[in-house]
Amino acid sequence: MGYPDQRFDVNLSILFTELPLLERPAAAAAAGFSAVELWWPWIETPTPIRAELDALKKALDDAGTQLVGLNFYAGQLPGPDRGALSVPGEESDRFRENIEVAADFAASAGCKALNALYGNRVEGVDPQTQDALALENLVLAARAADRVGAILLVETLNKPESPLYPLVSARAAIEVVDKVNAATGLGNAKFLLDLYHLSMNGEDLSQVIKAYAARTGHVQIADNPGRGAPGTGTLPLERLLDELKDAGYAGWVGLEYKPGDRPSAEAFDWLPVSARAAR
């Protein structure tokens, strides 16, 4: 048990960001990792030109890294946005334009998990209107994910850092997952369980694991406080990951933490090199 018993991947949208996007897969590989994940890399456009998609695919392949998680278009992330799919008008349209692009890229890279960030509440818009739009778009995304043999992830964020994001409890995200699965009949919508976000919301992490491990499609970690590497805060991450494994979770654990003031390559000293490659 413990960290060496997990399947870790590196989030290249928060780690190795001191490097250009196309250099990050090789940097992760040089640090000993063979699996990576990404937020939608082109925050300005949901539909990048084919050459940009091909270049990222080549960078992943050349580094020998497997893409195991990819966000759909989510607006300005990092930045003020927390997704697009529940935001009426242009942002919802952009999300829809992105669905097949992201699904096709995931298929080309062998990626089996697509994360759809819900989006912030919009002043002056009825929350029920946003939720109805969100369900429409999540159903489209779930069907596209199913087409390429992938799951659709729905994520809880934390209220202190994302005060306008409505899914700030495990239960809230699970309710959305259930609605999507009921609407599609596919059963491929899953919970993205981020231990950092849940801890920031004050949830009982062990209880969340017991309740929802079976419906969890992906896990992400960072320590709290600070969103740094394991060991920089007070979360018992090693024990919590063991609890997840004991509860039947056998999927990926995304390293979605800030490296601090040091280069990203030096932010993995908590994890033996022998435990970094995908298994």
* CB-based contact 202:159 (threshold 8 Å): no
- Cα Rg, the chain, nearest whole Å: 17
* CB-based contact 2:26 (threshold 8 Å): no
| CA 142/CA 144 separation, integer angstroms | 5
| CA 234/CA 213 separation, integer angstroms | 22
Using CB atoms within 10 Å of the CB of residue 98, give its burial: 0 to 12 exposed, 13 to 18 middle, 19+ buried.
buried
Q: Would you call 136 a catalytic residue per the annotation?
A: no
Instruction: Please list, residue by residue across 192-230, b when 16 or more beta carbons sit within 10 angstroms of its beta carbon and e when fewer do.
Output: bbbbbbbbbbebebeebbeebbebbbbbbbbbbeebbbb
Longest pairwise C-alpha distance within the chain:
52
* CB-based contact 103:71 (threshold 8 Å): no
Q: What token pair was written down for 75?
A: 């607006």
| Cis status, amide bond into 78, omega within 30 of 0 | yes
CB atoms under 10 Å from CB of 62, counted, come to 12
Q: Would you call 256 a catalytic residue per the annotation?
A: yes
Of the listed 91, 155, 203, 238, which one is catalytic? 155
Of the listed 37, 203, 238, 256, which one is catalytic? 256
Residues near 124 by beta carbon (within 8 Å), at least 6 away in sequence: none
Active site residues: 155, 256
